[in-house]
Amino acid sequence: MRAILIRFAVPTLIAVSILAFFGVPYVDRILADWFRSDVDMRAQLVANSMEGSVDNFLENDDEKGLARYLASITTDERLMAIALCGADAKAVLSTERTPPEISCAILRDIGDRGSSLVKLANGSVEVSSFPMGSRNGKALTALIIHDLGFIDRRQSSARNYVLALAGVSASVLALFLGFVFWLLIRRWVNELVGDIRGRRFLDDARSEPGSRRILTQIRRVLREAETSQRLEIDFHENWTPQALQQVVRDHLGAPEVFIVSNREPYIHNAGPSGPVVQVPASGMVTALEPIMRACSGTWIAHGSGTADRQVVDAHDRIQVPPEDPSYSLRRVWLRTEEEQGFYYGFSNEGLWPLCHLAYVRPAFREADWQQYQAVNEKFAAVVAAESGSKDPLILVQDYHFALLPGLLRERKPRATIALFWHIPWPNAETFGVCPWKLQILTHMLAADILGFHTRYHCQNFLATVDRFLECQIDHEHMTVTLGGRVCRVVPYPISIEWPPRWLASLPDVNTSREAVRARHGIASSVCLGLGVERWDFTKGIVERFLALEALLDKDRAARGKITLLQVAAPSRSRLPAYQALQAQTLSEATRINEKFGTENWKPIVLIDHHQEPREVFELFRASDFCIVNSLHDGMNLVAKEFVAARDDQDGVLILSTFAGASRELPEALLVNPFDVSETAAAMRTAMQMGRDERRERMKLMRRTVKENNVYRWAGRMLMDAARMRQRQSLTKNILEL
């Protein structure tokens, strides 16, 4: 508005000043002419009224009387003086205030019926001459001298009035025009902003005919730009760290980049000879770490390692990755009660079972919720303190930070905020049991982008919002407008880096097979099935054992021919549900091994501790099949890692239909993890599948994972973020018009 007013007021005032500069002298002149002709008329009247009386005085030769008479006439303020001049242009009589500069000699210039403007030292006078009787037979002429000082005074006040009037009219006009223009622009902007934010991009019905053409043009340009950007992403086959860097540089304008997550990408634990670095078993870390390597920036996460504090600098930062530092890890410390309520309590006993349909009942406790809010506040404060710019790009990760978009928006209104939800989103009824659903949903919707793994999860989220909030949902463009702010809800299927960096240090597949088999006592003739997970009830580990048992029960020939190597990385072990799962897993493994095992063969080999990524990749390369039978999973990156590890184009993947990865990898053997017989049959198929079929399936899956790698995942999200930033600055620019 201010800009619009300035743009209207300034030119109007300049125009008025130019007009005044040239116009005022002209007006002055006209006024002067008017006033002088008034004075001349007045002089004529005075002369007419004097004629008879002057004649009388002259006839009676009453010079004194004539002098008194003339003096009485000149008591008028404006009639300054009267002089009577003889034929020889000599003064016969003149009143007291006759200016010394004026003499009867003036008659030579103006004659006995004329007038002249005479400028004196203290103002102008108008001298008018009239024939006026005779003396001693000689004609006399009266000079009537009017003071024109009043004209100057009137002219100057008239000039002031004119200028003031022009100024006021100009200002009113400028304000009025500016206001009308602003209303017009607002209207267009509202329509455009509605369009830009995806509310009614194609709807012209509400636009005024006048603005429709312009709006249509702008929409077309915006649409074309977006389409070309989308095509650029969708058909860009070779997504690499360099391509991602280019997106950050060229499309986002190299903003400050922050990742915020609970789990840190590198954990320092105390070892016998100093801190030991560990890469945690986390799909989120697997995906995000290569992104951060490519883009740099700051990763803000909970410092959970026992030696984390020993290795940070005075600002709680450490440069990582340890072998080749390229970004900053800012650790946030949590007190025991914060970790208990925020991480174990609300996040993992509340939201985790709420979002995963694994039939573990979520627990919602007020005290946990308090800590969850407090820790989200704490992270918001850290992000704000770390950020030096007004519009950083903040990529918030996961269900631990549902409140963070709202809290960050308060502190950094112009930030571009994306929240990626790494786990499934349940249906509206299920989510409805959360006592703090409204706070969670409204805070999430303060993000510019909400990402889920699948369209199905996006639709569940939109249905949840629809059920519980008063807001505007555009299902076509997948946007939610709440309190005037638009949030895009988009599926971004997460992935892994291609090729995984761990492969570079591994030997060929045969060497890996031999090493792993030797290490775990598995004969080369035995089909090696592999399971790799955090020890979590959503992963279907026990169900997998039961499927193996069913296979061995049913098919006696399979006994001694198949071993399941299960890596179960301890996770959230403080929680009763996880402790129960660990106990159940151990007892089921023992039971099945006792039931079928022989001196030289065990159906199940359980590795019950964390394995570093390089070790996991060696296992992937050593196995004949990998089984991912999660009961419910957002994506599951183990499935994609297995495929990426198999550059020999061999190996079979058994994959749960309830893992997001099954949408992208239909060439896997898809199973319902709750159906033990079906899972057993899939294991059997994997054992028997011919080399050609294995190769064909693996080739297709590898192409998918290669093309849809994590750089594409991040690239799509960052391009969407770039679009949001462009729209915001477009909106800002239009509003500043």
Which residues are near ligand F6P by CB under 6 A?
A: 262-263, 282-284, 398, 422-423, 534, 571-572
Residue 301 or 408: which CB sits closer to ligand F6P? 301
Tokens found for residue 698: 């693996």
- Biggest CA–CA distance in the chain, Å, is 168
Nearer to ligand F6P, 397 or 464 (CB): 397
| Residue-level length of the chain | 737
Q: Which is nearer to ligand F6P, 342 or 620 (CB)?
A: 342
Other CB atoms closer than 10 Å to residue 510's CB: what's the count? 11
Q: Which DSSP state fits 659?
A: B
Would you tell me how many other CB atoms lie within 10 Å of the CB of residue 322? 12
Cα separations in angstroms, 82 against 120, 353, 481, 573:
16, 114, 88, 121
Distance in angstroms (rounded) separating the CA atoms of residues 186 and 535: 56
Q: How far is the CB of 261 from ligand F6P (least distance, A)?
A: 7
Shortest distance (Å) from residue 253 CB to ligand F6P: 29
DSSP for residue 505: G
The three-state secondary structure class of 97 is coil
CB of 287 to ligand F6P, least distance (A): 8
Q: Least distance to ligand F6P from the beta carbon of 343, Å?
A: 7
Looking at residue 476, the DSSP 8-state letter turns out to be T
Alpha-carbon gap, residue 419 to 397, rounded angstroms:
6
Closest among 29, 28, 33, 122 to 80, alpha carbons compared: 122
Min dist CB 299 to ligand F6P, Å, is 13
In whole angstroms, the minimum distance from the beta carbon of 179 to ligand F6P comes to 52
Question: Is 475:442 a contact under the CB 8 Å cutoff?
Answer: no
Q: Quick one: 422 or 725, whose CB is closer to ligand F6P?
A: 422
Q: Which residue has the tokens 């969407």?
A: 720
How far is residue 375's CA from residue 338's CA, in Å, rounded to a whole number? 7
DSSP state of 346: I
In eight-state DSSP terms, residue 728 is: H
- Residue 396's nearest CA partner among 379, 413, 374 is 379
Smallest distance from ligand F6P to CB 637, Å: 8
Local structure of 202: helix, strand or coil: coil
Nearer to ligand F6P, 534 or 621 (CB): 534
Is 407 in contact with 380 (CB distance < 8 Å)?
Answer: yes
* Least distance from ligand F6P to the Cβ atom of residue 283, Å: 3
In this structure, are residues 425 and 490 in contact, taking their beta carbons and an 8 Å threshold? no
Is the CB of residue 258 less than 8 Å from the CB of residue 395?
Answer: yes
CB of 423 to ligand F6P, least distance (A): 6
The bridge status of strand 652-656 relative to strand 669-671 is parallel
For residues 94 and 262, which CB has a smaller minimum distance to ligand F6P in the complex?
A: 262
**Closest distance between ligand F6P and the C-beta of residue 185, in Å?**
45
Nearest distance, CB of residue 730 and ligand F6P, angstroms: 34
- Smallest separation, CB 555 to ligand F6P (Å): 35
Residue 572 Cβ vs ligand F6P, minimum distance, rounded to whole Å:
6
CB of 450 to ligand F6P, least distance (A): 15
What is the rounded distance in angstroms from the CA atom of residue 377 to the CA atom of residue 273?
37
CB-nearer residue toward ligand F6P: 143 or 284: 284
Contact in structure between 663 and 705 (CB atoms under 8 Å):
no
Tell me how far apart the alpha carbons of residues 174 and 168 are, in angstroms, rounded to a whole number: 10
CA dist 285 and 571 (Å) reads 15
Distance of alpha carbon 643 from alpha carbon 647, whole angstroms? 8
| Residue 534 or 544 with smaller CB distance to ligand F6P | 534
Q: In the complex, what is the shortest distance from the CB of residue 534 to ligand F6P, in angstroms, rounded to a whole number?
A: 6
Angle of helix 404-411 relative to helix 366-386, nearest 10 degrees?
Answer: 40
Shortest gap between Cβ of 398 and ligand F6P (angstroms)?
4
Nearest CB to ligand F6P, comparing residues 412 and 422 = 422
Residue number, 284 or 705, with CB nearest to ligand F6P = 284
CB atoms within 10 A of CB 517: 18
Cβ distance to ligand F6P smaller for residue 283 or 451: 283
Short-list 129, 146, 140, 116, CA closest to 66: 140
Place of tokens 């990998």: 626
User: Residue 141's closest CA among 103, 192, 101?
Assistant: 103
Place of tokens 């996006």: 458
Tokens coding 420: 């990626």
Residue entry with tokens 């190299």: 254
367 is written with which tokens? 């005290």
- Judged by beta carbon, residue 126 or residue 398, the one nearer ligand F6P is 398
Beta carbon nearer to ligand F6P, 188 or 401: 401
CA 227 to chain centre: 20
CA distance 310 to 332: 14
CB nearer ligand F6P, residue 248 or residue 423: 423
Nearer to ligand F6P, 283 or 673 (CB): 283
Our CB check for ligand F6P shows the closer of 282 and 656 to be 282
